[in-house]
Amino acid sequence: MPVTRRDLLARLGFGMGFLPALAVAPRSVVGSLLFEPDGALVPVKPIPPNPFVRNGKVLVAMVHGRDPVVLLQAGLELLGGIGRLGIANKRVLIKPNIVNDRPPPSTTSPAVVAAVVRAVRNAGAADVQVADSSGMIRFPTAENLIATGVRQAAESAGASVLALEDHPWVRVEPAGAKALPRYYISKPVYEADVFINLPVVKTHRFAHYSCSLKNLVGITHPRYRPSLSFLSGDWHERIAELNLAVHPHLTVADGTTVMIAGGPTSGTPARADLLLLSGDRVALDAVGVALIRSFGAWPKLMEKGVWEQRQIRKAIELKLGVSSPDQIELVTQSVAGSDPDFDKLAAAIRRDLAKA
């Protein structure tokens, strides 16, 4: 899609805002942007088998209710149970979206983070970390983790908490990457035995939407994030390529409150009381996009169908997940009992997904 005048002005505004922010940023942040980190070259991780498949189709669970603990349990049961991940005695890293210090839907709900930590702990994980790195002009992440309540929620549930810009990096050179043939990702994420992605379902002014694929930008060294090439117009493709290095074993997308316009740091919220779960990040993003589109409030996602969104198209090209709607089975449940509105939403999402 051509860059519109409005988009260009917005991107220039981002750049003009970025430079003053950089001038007053902590020295460690400035240094991380000016210089490459020390990081050994490591092979990209292979895409793990998806254990959440039935009759040859990838499962995406969509559960509705008010209690994140109950929602998570119901969603995992719809997929076949957390036991399929083989978490016992493993090191697990959970990556929420802590782009800044604002509440959901800018960031992942602390209650959802705590629910996932407890589920992983109960499954016998040897070690659990909750980790992210915020938007660059929103550093330091450590302060955002406190302000959002995520640090307290995660630690109370039994996890340690990391601000990834304060930890080592490793270098990757994925064979399929064109825009970024070489970049650095977080070493703690790379070394985790099990990686659980915990994004928010929300809109994004430049990437059009943010969910599972986009959430991996936060494990990437600041010098290599799409925001440093804000005039290039290829945010979507860069986001997909940043998913080539490591791969979530499970994605749990926070749709308790979704962002239906604007974003990613602030926008229009809508209460949805949903969690989305899948072992396939492309399938989950397709459902997330259909969910946002059901509100009809964000023109950037209404101009093209689910499967024509550029992040999803590039991810399919890179073979990061499913490639068509006939490979997905959407399984749904309202934990509060019969809910006609939820049934209508599920039907609308299925119809939207079917438009290949």
Q: Domain residues of the chain, as ranges?
A: 56-353
Does residue 345 register a pLDDT over 60? yes
Q: For tokens 């092979």, name the residue.
A: 43
Task: Name the pLDDT band for 230 (thresholds 50, 70, 90).
Answer: low
Task: Name the pLDDT band for 17 (thresholds 50, 70, 90).
Answer: very low
Q: Say which range, 138-152, 216-230, 255-269, has the weakest mean pLDDT.
A: 216-230
Going by C-alpha positions, the residue among 233, 121, 112, 131 that lies closest to residue 188 is 131
- Which overall architecture, per CATH, does domain 56-353 show? 3-Layer(aba) Sandwich (3.40)
Does residue 246 register a pLDDT over 50? yes
Q: What is the pTM of this model?
A: 0.91
Distance CA 150, CA 147 (A): 8
> 3-class secondary structure for 295-343?
CCCCHHHHCCCHHHCHHHHHHHHCCCCCCCHHHEEEEEEECCCCCHHHH
Does residue 231 register a pLDDT over 90? no
Q: Is the dihedral of CA 352, 353, 354, 356 positive or negative?
A: positive
Task: Read off the pLDDT of each residue in 207-221 and give the average, rounded to a whole number.
Answer: 97
To the nearest whole number, what is the mean pLDDT of the chain?
91
Task: Name the pLDDT band for 90 (thresholds 50, 70, 90).
Answer: very high
Instruction: Report residue 36: phi and psi, to 5°.
Output: -70, 145
Task: Name the pLDDT band for 26 (thresholds 50, 70, 90).
Answer: low
pLDDT of residue 34: 57
Distance CA 283, CA 305 (A): 14
CB 113, CB 198: distance < 8 Å: yes
**Rounded to 10 degrees, what is the CA torsion of 241, 298, 280, 91?**
80
Note the pLDDT tens digit of each residue in 38-61. 899 999 999 999 999 999 999 999
Q: Which distant-in-sequence residues (6+ apart) come within 8 Å of 316 by Cβ?
A: 282, 322, 323
| Coil, helix or strand at residue 350 | helix
The pLDDT > 90 percentage for the chain reads 82
pLDDT of residue 233: 72
pLDDT of residue 232: 61
17 or 237, which is more confident: 237
For strand 160-163 and strand 127-132, is the pairing parallel, antiparallel, or unpaired?
parallel
pLDDT of residue 255: 98
Note the pLDDT tens digit of each residue in 33-43. 556 888 999 99
pLDDT of residue 32: 57
| Number of CB atoms found within 10 A of residue 116's CB | 30
Overall size of the chain counted in residues: 356
Does residue 209 register a pLDDT over 50? yes
Does residue 4 register a pLDDT over 70? no
CB 181, CB 244: distance < 8 Å: no
